Structures are given as C-alpha cells and as structure tokens.
C-alpha cells in the first residue's frame, strides 16, 4: 500500500502520532510518503519505505502571508501522481483537510481518484476550528473527506456539537510503542536530578494557556511541603515565563528544573514518580499515556479524553480544573508510602498496554483497506 501522510512536523501530539503511525506502517512493508514543510521531529533516523517531500512556499512581495495551503495542495498533487499513491491520510483539519480536498478535485480532472482520510486531533476542533474565520471551511472539508477519525470519544462528540458533520466519525485512539517506555531508570541520571532521593514529579507540554502550568507549580508547592520532591518541566512555550516567575515567588527555584524540549522522553519518564497534567482540556492526553507506559501514575483534570485513559484509584487520580487542593491531596496520597506508589506504577504500566501500537495500527490498516477494495 502506498500512503501519503500530511501532518505538522512539530512536537505536538498530532505530529508525533502521525509520524509514529507512518514509521509503524513502513515497518509493515507499506510505502509511506510524508508531505509537510519540514521533516517531522520524530523522523530522526532512516527508516526503509519512508519518503519525505518538503512543501516549498514561494515568497513574493505581493504576499503578506505566504499561501501555504495552495503550495501544500500542489505538493499533494505532485506526490500522488509521481508516486502512484493509494490514499492520503491528513492529520489535523486546518489546513490539511481543505488542501486535500483541493488536490483531490484537481486529480479528478485527470481521472485519478484518491481517497482522503482526515484524523481530528483536538485543537483543530476545540479551539482553532471553532473560530468563525475558519469554521465554514473546516466543516466543508471534513464532510468532503472519505473517512473521518477522532482520537477519542470525547473529541468525536465535541466535533458533532461544534460542526454540522454529516458523516460518521470513527474513533481510533492515539497509541504508543509501549516497548519504548519499558526502560530501567539510569541511576546516574536520577541521582543528578534528585541527589537526596527526592520524589520526581514531571510535567510535559507546550506551555500554552490550556495546559495551566501555574497549576502545576502550585500543586508541586503543596506536595513539596509534605514530601521531599523535585519537579521537572519538560517542553517550552508562551507560559513558561509565568511558571518561572511563580517559582521565584514561592522560593522553589532549586526544586523546579526547566529542561526544555526533549526528544528522548523515555529516559526522562523512567526516573519519574508522578506525572502532573492539570489541563483545561485534552482531546486525548498522549503525554499522560507515555508517562503511564513508563510506569508513572498520572494526576490530571477530568476533562476531554483524559477520562478515557486515566483510571481513578488505579493509574492515578482526577479532579476538576483548577482544584489545586484536591489534585495536591491526591498527589500526596500516591507518594506518601512506597507500597502505594509501587501499586499505582504497576497498574499504570499495565493499563497503557491497551493503547500499544500493535493494537491500534491494525485499525488504521483495516480502515485503509476499505477504500482499496472499492
């Protein structure tokens, strides 16, 4: 099967999922062609059967904003024709679904039919897509897709609430390669972070308003009063200065470490004891699932797709958005004794296996197969 994958090449969940899907498909002898403006960050080693096509956007004085969507549609047409692709799988509705529709209509003029599958990931529906500037195009291009998938039941229902979608949306959950996260902690690394055996709390995100990174600091502040602990902030983004300022106000600069964006998350998660994700919304919560796969219990808000992966009392706990007191108490309950912590770690790792790559990728292959048989 020859598959085109269109995604954002960044650290965000949609780009990570799309890249890992492409790699998994390539390992199963499918030919995968990535079409995007930069090589995806997770495509950092050579993988047979994977090809990367860069979208070049010409710049002219006439254009205040370079027309990426037009350039992307043209690139899709070229890649599909020159490589005889069987289908196109676009991740994140804006602008990939609308560009795919344009490419599809161009190819129909040459009697080339290309099925388009659109996977919705979250903010393309819950945030950006709702904007009245984009909503008509998002609605139209999703409806014109040959198949639509969402990464959680919650996102599926949110899409139906927000847009007039006339087709069935199928849920195919995000996935991870569980074997990647089944690592023993590197003792020297753990000792460098927590030299006196402190508990290690983690937060990974793009530091946007939705992630409520100040809540992470406040939860840690309460935990640290009771349990010797260190907080690792992984990632970067616009709200990082706010979090750093709060650290200074609370006198926690020595206990909170900002390590920036990291690609080898499995080594960092391996030393963790608790993962904090007090987000305002998560369409799925891929970062939380990666933590669970590494045997790190999760303290999260009870929003969006998090309710579908975090099992209260087993893999961690959940509470309402902004409920610092309850989230802190739950954190302390898990960390206060080793036996409790071990129990949560074991159940978190076991539950994550439900979302293993070997269970989810065949669902995409089955979906693709429906269109190849037509």
* Separation between Cα atoms, residue 133 and residue 127, nearest integer Å: 12
Q: What is the pLDDT of residue 3?
A: 97
Q: What is the pLDDT of residue 200?
A: 97
pLDDT cut 70: percent of the chain above it: 97
- pLDDT at 193 > cutoff 90: yes
* Separation between Cα atoms, residue 38 and residue 250, nearest integer Å: 40
Which among 134, 140, 137, 132 is positioned nearest to 167, based on CA atoms? 140
At residue 130 the predicted structure's pLDDT band, cuts being 50, 70 and 90, is low
Average pLDDT taken over every residue of the chain: 93
- Provide the residue ranges of all domains of the chain, joining segments of one domain with +: 2-175+356-372, 178-355
At residue 301 the predicted structure's pLDDT band, cuts being 50, 70 and 90, is very high
- The string of pLDDT tens digits covering residues 19-76 is 999 999 999 999 999 999 998 877 877 889 999 999 998 888 888 888 999 999 999 9
Phi and psi angles of residue 210, each rounded to the nearest 5 degrees, phi first? -60, -25
Helix or strand or coil: residue 120? strand
Q: What is the pLDDT of residue 175?
A: 94
Q: What is the pLDDT of residue 186?
A: 85
Angle, CA 24 vertex, CA 21 and CA 27 arms, to 5° = 150
Which among 247, 194, 242 is positioned nearest to 218, based on CA atoms? 247
- The string of pLDDT tens digits covering residues 134-175 is 888 889 999 999 999 999 999 999 999 888 999 999 999 999
Tell me the mean pLDDT in the region 331-345: 97
Which among 366, 359, 10, 368 is positioned nearest to 174, based on CA atoms? 359
- pLDDT at 129 > cutoff 90: no
Q: Would you state the structure tokens that stand for residue 371, as one six-digit string? A: 């269109």
- pLDDT at 15 > cutoff 90: no
Helix or strand or coil: residue 297? coil
Q: What is the pLDDT of residue 125?
A: 76
User: Phi-psi category of 135—alpha, beta or left, where left has phi over 0 and alpha has psi -120 to 50?
Assistant: alpha
- The string of pLDDT tens digits covering residues 241-263 is 999 999 999 999 999 999 998 87
The better pLDDT of the pair 205, 131 is held by 205
CATH fourth-level superfamily of 2-175+356-372 = Glycogen Phosphorylase B; (3.40.50.2000)
Determine the length of the chain: 374
Contact 353, 178 (CB under 8 A): yes
**Would you say the CATH fold of 178-355 matches that of 2-175+356-372?**
yes
Residue 52 β-bridge partners: 34
Contact 120, 93 (CB under 8 A): yes
Q: What is the pLDDT of residue 374?
A: 56
Q: What does the longest C-alpha to C-alpha distance in the chain come to?
A: 69
Phi and psi angles of residue 315, each rounded to the nearest 5 degrees, phi first? -95, -5
At residue 127 the predicted structure's pLDDT band, cuts being 50, 70 and 90, is low
Cα 179–chain centre separation: 18
- Note the CATH number of domain 178-355: 3.40.50.2000
* Separation between Cα atoms, residue 69 and residue 97, nearest integer Å: 10
Q: Would you state the structure tokens that stand for residue 29, as one six-digit string? A: 């002898």
């Amino acid at each position: 099967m020859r598959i085109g994958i269109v995604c954002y090449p960044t650290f965000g969940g949609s780009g990570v999922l799309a890249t890992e899907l492409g790699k998994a498909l390539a390992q199963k002898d499918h030919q995968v062609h990535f079409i995007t403006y930069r090589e995806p960050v997770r495509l950092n080693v050579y993988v047979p059967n994977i090809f990367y096509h860069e979208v070049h956007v010409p710049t002219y004085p006439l254009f205040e904003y370079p027309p990426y969507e037009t350039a992307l549609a043209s690139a899709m047409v070229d890649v599909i024709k020159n490589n005889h692709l069987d289908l196109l799988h676009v991740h994140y509705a804006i602008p990939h679904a609308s560009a795919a529709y344009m490419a599809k209509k161009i190819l129909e003029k040459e009697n080339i039919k290309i099925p388009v599958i659109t996977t919705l990931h979250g903010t393309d529906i819950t945030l950006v897509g709702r904007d009245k500037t984009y909503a008509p195009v998002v609605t139209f291009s999703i409806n014109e897709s040959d198949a639509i998938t969402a990464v959680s039941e919650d996102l599926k229902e949110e899409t139906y609430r927000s847009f007039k979608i006339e087709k069935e949306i199928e849920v195919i959950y995000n996935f991870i390669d569980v074997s990647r996260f089944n690592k023993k902690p590197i003792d020297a690394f753990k000792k460098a972070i927590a030299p006196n055996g402190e508990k290690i709390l983690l937060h990974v995100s793009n530091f946007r308003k939705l992630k409520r990174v100040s809540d992470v600091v406040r939860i840690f502040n309460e935990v640290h009063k009771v349990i010797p602990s260190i907080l690792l902030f992984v990632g970067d983004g616009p709200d990082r200065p706010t979090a750093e300022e709060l650290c200074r106000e609370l006198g926690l600069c020595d206990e909170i470490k900002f390590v920036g964006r990291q690609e080898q998350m499995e080594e960092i998660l391996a030393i963790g004891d608790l993962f904090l994700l007090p987000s305002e919304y998560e369409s799925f919560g891929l970062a939380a699932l990666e933590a669970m796969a590494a045997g790190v219990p999760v303290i999260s808000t009870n929003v969006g797709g998090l309710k579908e992966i975090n099992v209260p009392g087993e893999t961690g706990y959940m509470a309402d958005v902004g409920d610092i007191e309850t989230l802190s108490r739950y954190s302390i309950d898990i960390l206060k004794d080793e036996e409790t912590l071990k129990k949560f770690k074991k159940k978190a790792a076991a539950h994550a296996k439900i979302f293993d790559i070997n269970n989810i990728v065949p669902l995409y292959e089955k979906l693709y197969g429906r269109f190849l048989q037509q």
